[in-house]
Structure 1
Amino acid sequence: MAPGPLHPVTVLEQCDVSPSPAAGQPPALPLTFFDLVFWGFPPVQRLFFYDNPDLVSGFTAGELPRLKKSLAAALHHFYPLAGKLTCEMTDGVAPPEVLFAHGDSVPLTVAVSADDFGDLAGDHPRDTARLRPLLPMLRKHGGQSQDVLAVQVTVFPRAGVCIGTTLHHAVADGSSYAHFLRTWASIHRRLGGLDVDECTKATAMDDDAPPLFDRAVVRDDAGLREAFLRDHRALAKSGDTCLDDWDLSRRSTGDVVLATFRFTDTQLRALGKHVESETSARCSPYALACAAAWAGIVHARRQRYGGDMDGEVVAGDMDGEVVASSEERFGFVTGCKPRARPPIPASYFGNCLGLCSVESTRLVNGGGGLTAASTAAAAIWRVIEELGEEGRALRDARGWVRSVREHAAARAVTVAGSPKLRLYAAADLGGAWGRPRKVEIVSVERTGALALAESGRDGEGGIEVGLALPRAEMEAFRKFYVDLFDSLSAVS
């Protein structure tokens, strides 16, 4: 399929949304060692597509003021999102922290687009260049600090509305983001008959505990924060740019497209039964979806750079040069709140993720697609099962900052998001909005990650996996995906 035409958006309004009622002057929030793992990462960028044409009629006079008010009320509870993150990481400079002062705000952009809403919100491959205009940028303030969160609302005449958010990963993980989103949506649903102050009080908090910002709940007996700061300062001094190796937008490998592949409950059960019969591993749906996608990406890279499922594996570097690879790497995260000692409250706001790594030479040298997916699933499940051991989640934590760079240099496949976040439900704004038709993590183009979410289709169940690949690799992945489940049906 040829690339679609680009439709730049027309900006209607740019404004700032401050916490309402005004938040008190809080102390600065230092970054914990969990936060510092994601220092230097590209921001997390999500799009929420709402496909009700009724939203568009009189939008700026009707729905937009309500959306601003509900955002302001949600920021009252999550005031650090309106603050600024100091962004220097050099010797002699204070460690990064989130600072909030009276009058700080979240930038909100309101725009209109002439692009095809239905096409952009589909599952098929779409040029990432068409999605970028829907995403807001984080402002920088004199090189000393930058915004934490930015929001953009884009109206598609006679079609629907898209909400885009950009969040600095060093400030919050997916769980904290989902907490904020649920609060925003809950307040918005209630705004009909209440003023902002009443609504803020009424939702403090209906379904969730208020966010907890106390950094003292994160124990650091091993001195990981200071170790991570030393690593980051050394990397900055050396001019390290390894994280850029994940960024597809920097490569000369052709157009990059974003597509979604759905793994239904039925498909995952069938794959799980096959994996258990072949490897004795009783894998979770999460492990199965990750494994199939990981195996498919390995296959797609081989098809692009040479080799097949039975031959030598090769991969491309930044300039497309073909280089040999003896193993494949996969990385995912695990929630550390319940695994910490003592456990960290579920309402804690910030990052609280452990890094997990999987390596496989058998995946490189394995047989066909079904065999590769089974091999990948067993390898991932072995690591997941090990997480049940006391202290396992943090056992290798001292090397996390540098291991992330190694994974990026090796173009490891990683994971963003999780079906457990339930973002489709979290983003239910009620009224004419309802649940979004589609949720996308567009920033996977820059991080080499799989974007996992619960299926947004009612009654279907399962997991949806979004991924960004060069167009030729995406076509090879699509064929792998189709052939995988055809092969599974034949075996069954």
Structure 2
Amino acid sequence: MQQEHMELPKKPWLEILEQCKIGPSPSPPTPFSLPLTYFDLSFFLSPPTQRILFYSLPPHELLHFYSILQTLKHSLSHALSHFLPLAGNLVWPPQSPEPFICYNPGDSLSLTIAKTHADFHHLSSNHARKAKESHFLVPDLPTSDTIAPVMSLQITLFPKCGFSIGIITNHVVSDAKTSTMFLKSWASICSTLNNTNNKNPPTLPSELTPCFDRTPATDPNGLHTLYVKSFAIFVPNPKLLGLTPKEVISDDVVYATFELTRIDIEKLRRRVVATSSSTPRRLSTFMLAFSLVSTCIVKAQRTEPESKIGLIFLVDWRARMDVLGWLNYFGNGVNGYGLFVEARELEGENGMAMISNKISDALAEIEKNMKENKGVEMLDEISERWKKAMPIDKFVLVAGSPRLGVYDIDFGWGRSKKVELASISPNGVFSMAESRNGDGGVELGISLPSEAVDKFCSLFSETMKGYVD
């Protein structure tokens, strides 16, 4: 990461060129609805997810931006026909005992077309900058107590540089796996239309075709028992959605991107093995990056040694539970697993090894329970551990995963220059994605108050320099 002198940014200039509604094509003649499941409930407490994809284009191609827009709109409409809930709403009608996801014929997704003269390269680079500087590239997602749109999009032209696509998604309806699958589907259709004269809707490959079957997930003798048990905890007000709004970020919060190459990961792996009291069962790239960033965040924020820390990562249950229709399940297929430690345990050279061991043990426990067909019991146990661990002084949570493949989202004009998760909170949330250059490394998005970012940068750099070959 490069550090730059940061002045208070001027309010970005944004010209709204068009605000339109995009519906699925072809549009189905009948309504389509999905019940909520246990995995959706906890995200009533989460703000909407915001992501920005930056695409660099040469000036001569941007002269035809109107044509590019038409292809993006046309392909979006076709993509929505495969992902109907994204054009619909989360609703709670007065006559219904619980909320559900609903698409009605004529429903559509809000799309904003805009233009800005903001610095494209500044916003899409890795150096530290004010976190709020890029947020104008993401649209709003208005909600009420009875209805909430699922998704909104904004396409913003940077003349002579490229364009961005800003996505805001209701987390109760979709996790990162589902929203990424949708973006890849949209990009696949767009790329096909962009490179052929065929205007008929292309078919989606099987790996991008969503599964909407929730029959097993709503089995009254299975996962649904946890839904009933937990509903009032996450949705305490009857008949009111009460969704968490988009977080407002203060001016002193700084966003920066850090990279770990495959060589860096190998250095971390050797160091963890060398400082561990026992050899972890597995040491994935995700584990090592999570362990490094967690320790740096806690130290950078000068957390009191006796403070209780909750280190949170999301477990994807799609490949672990048949009730989620395998890998293409549409919706939320993840829930948070918490490791609870005191801040003092993260000090010293074995802090990373301790976290890696705990993650390794947690995953081994999950796999053991799944082999014994005790998935529901395992999820219930995880929930009970959360309750016993409260109150927590500080959380550190990772959003995203290198396995999502966000840099594979190619609309036909090449891979994105940068993908930013704009909704990460300065209260200990960071993002993780695969490295854009495809070297097997990872990108880490950090959002912290300015003084904490300076300390984080120093700790991150010193840690990696200390791991010699």
State the alpha-carbon separation in 1 of the partners of residues 25 and 388 from structure 2.
40
Q: Which residue of 1 aligns with 2:212?
A: 213
Q: Bigger CA drift: 475-484 or 78-87?
A: 78-87
Q: Which residue of 2 aligns with 1:23?
A: 28
Q: Is the 8 A contact 1:455 1:462 kept in 2?
A: yes
Q: Which residue of 2 aligns with 1:178?
A: 180
State the alpha-carbon separation in 2 of the partners of residues 47 and 256 from structure 1.
18
Find the residue that maps to 1:296 and give its secondary structure. helix
Mapping 1:91-490, distance limit 5 Å: 94-140=97-143, 143-192=145-194, 193-196=196-199, 198=200, 200=201, 202-203=202-203, 205-208=204-207, 210-218=209-217, 220=219, 221=222, 223-234=225-236, 236=237, 249=249, 255-279=252-276, 280-281=279-280, 282-302=282-302, 313-314=303-304, 325-341=306-322, 344-361=325-342, 363-368=343-348, 370-391=349-370, 394=376, 395-397=378-380, 400=383, 403=386, 410-425=393-408, 427-430=409-412, 433-445=413-425, 448-458=428-438, 460-489=439-468
State the alpha-carbon separation in 1 of the partners of residues 350 and 61 from structure 2.
49
Q: Bigger CA drift: 340-349 or 325-334?
A: 340-349
Of 53, 63, 66, the match for 1:48: 53
State the alpha-carbon separation in 2 of the partners of residues 107 and 248 from structure 1.
22
Find the residue that maps to 1:16 and give its secondary structure. strand
Q: Which residue of 2 aligns with 1:6?
A: 11
Q: Which residue of 2 aligns with 1:309?
A: none
Structure 1 unaligned spans of 5+: 303-312, 315-323
Find the residue that maps to 1:132 and give its secondary structure. helix
State the alpha-carbon separation in 2 of the partners of residues 81 and 243 from structure 1.
19
Q: Is the 8 A contact 1:55 1:160 kept in 2?
A: no
State the alpha-carbon separation in 2 of the partners of residues 350 and 233 from structure 1.
18
State the alpha-carbon separation in 1 of the partners of residues 197 and 81 from structure 2.
16
Aligned residues: percent identity? 29
State the alpha-carbon separation in 2 of the partners of residues 208 and 408 from structure 1.
41
State the alpha-carbon separation in 1 of the partners of residues 271 and 231 from structure 2.
45
Q: Is the 8 A contact 1:360 1:376 kept in 2?
A: no
Structure 2 unaligned spans of 5+: none
Distance 1:16 1:447, change over 3 A: farther
Distance 1:466 1:206, change over 3 A: same
TM-score, with length taken from structure 2: 0.88
Distance 1:393 1:242, change over 3 A: farther
Find the residue that maps to 2:369 and give its secondary structure. coil
Q: CA deviation at 1:54?
A: 3.6
State the alpha-carbon separation in 2 of the partners of residues 65 and 127 from structure 1.
33
Distance 1:273 1:446, change over 3 A: closer
State the alpha-carbon separation in 1 of the partners of residues 460 and 186 from structure 2.
36
Q: Is the 8 A contact 1:329 1:407 kept in 2?
A: no
Q: Is the 8 A contact 2:310 2:392 kept in 1?
A: no
Aligned pair count reads 452
State the alpha-carbon separation in 1 of the partners of residues 187 and 301 from structure 2.
40
Q: Is the 8 A contact 1:49 1:437 kept in 2?
A: yes
How big is each residue's C-alpha offset from its partner over 1:239-267, in whole Å with a ceiling of 9 and x where there is no partner?
9x9989x95727xxx61111111111111
State the alpha-carbon separation in 1 of the partners of residues 427 and 90 from structure 2.
21
Distance 1:295 1:68, change over 3 A: same
How big is each residue's C-alpha offset from its partner over 1:109-157, in whole Å with a ceiling of 9 and x where there is no partner?
01111111001001111212211100011133x6421210100001111
State the alpha-carbon separation in 2 of the partners of residues 191 and 55 from structure 1.
20
Q: Is the 8 A contact 2:32 2:104 kept in 1?
A: no
Q: Which consecutive aligned stretches of 4+ in structure 1 deviate over 6 angstroms post-superposition?
A: 241-244, 404-408
State the alpha-carbon separation in 2 of the partners of residues 105 and 478 from structure 1.
43
Find the residue that maps to 1:183 and give its secondary structure. helix
Distance 1:15 1:341, change over 3 A: closer
Q: CA deviation at 1:95?
A: 1.2
Q: CA deviation at 1:367?
A: 4.0
Find the residue that maps to 1:349 and give its secondary structure. coil
Q: Is the 8 A contact 2:14 2:114 kept in 1?
A: yes
State the alpha-carbon separation in 2 of the partners of residues 457 and 14 from structure 1.
35
Distance 1:408 1:428, change over 3 A: farther
State the alpha-carbon separation in 2 of the partners of residues 115 and 384 from structure 1.
44
Find the residue that maps to 1:389 and give its secondary structure. helix
Distance 1:131 1:408, change over 3 A: farther
Letter aligned with residue 424 of structure 2: V
Q: CA deviation at 1:28?
A: 1.8
Q: Is the 8 A contact 1:83 1:148 kept in 2?
A: yes
Q: Is the 8 A contact 1:149 1:167 kept in 2?
A: yes
Letter aligned with residue 10 of structure 2: P
State the alpha-carbon separation in 1 of the partners of residues 152 and 457 from structure 2.
33
Q: Is the 8 A contact 2:324 2:333 kept in 1?
A: no
Q: Is the 8 A contact 2:182 2:208 kept in 1?
A: no
Q: CA deviation at 1:450?
A: 1.8
Q: Is the 8 A contact 1:335 1:354 kept in 2?
A: yes
Q: Is the 8 A contact 1:45 1:165 kept in 2?
A: yes
Find the residue that maps to 2:69 and give its secondary structure. helix
Q: Is the 8 A contact 2:262 2:440 kept in 1?
A: yes
TM-score, with length taken from structure 1: 0.84
Q: CA deviation at 1:35?
A: 1.2
Q: In angstroms, what is the RMSD of aligned CA positions?
A: 2.9
